[in-house]
Structure 1
């Protein structure tokens, strides 16, 4: 599973509201909802966020292994 909790933490640390992120990146609110629920988003979206926040993909997401 992929978790976007690091993105949430980054936004909090930088005091960036989600609406500001939408404006900075041009992503849709539907895409933001996917990020909030750990659903798949394309690398294009990750690239837009990384460019806007001047960070690396590893700063936005983490892999959580299955517990099987």
Structure 2
């Protein structure tokens, strides 16, 4: 996938647990789990809003574009 979620990196830097983020941001633990493990295929703006508010960050801090390598190279 070309979009990578950096929630695990941010949580590690801030020494936060999934339960703390879920409760603090008002999200389901399964939502945080999916983002943490970069297993989601879509993210709702409301989820980004809650995470950014709780973590005091920007959406660009959570999501980055990583170009896929050309399979013909």
Q: TM-score, normalised by structure 1?
A: 0.83
In structure 1, the partner of 2:45 is: 43
Structure 2 gaps, min length 5: none
Structure 1 gaps, min length 5: none
- Quote the RMSD (CA, aligned, Å): 1.4
Higher relative contact order (CA 8 A, sep 6+): 1
C-alpha separation in 1, matches of 2:33 and 2:18: 10
Q: Secondary structure at the match of 1:16?
A: coil
Answer with 1 or 2: which has the greater Rg: 2
Query: C-alpha displacement at 1:30, in angstroms?
Result: 2.3
Count of equivalent residues: 67
Q: TM-score, normalised by structure 2?
A: 0.78
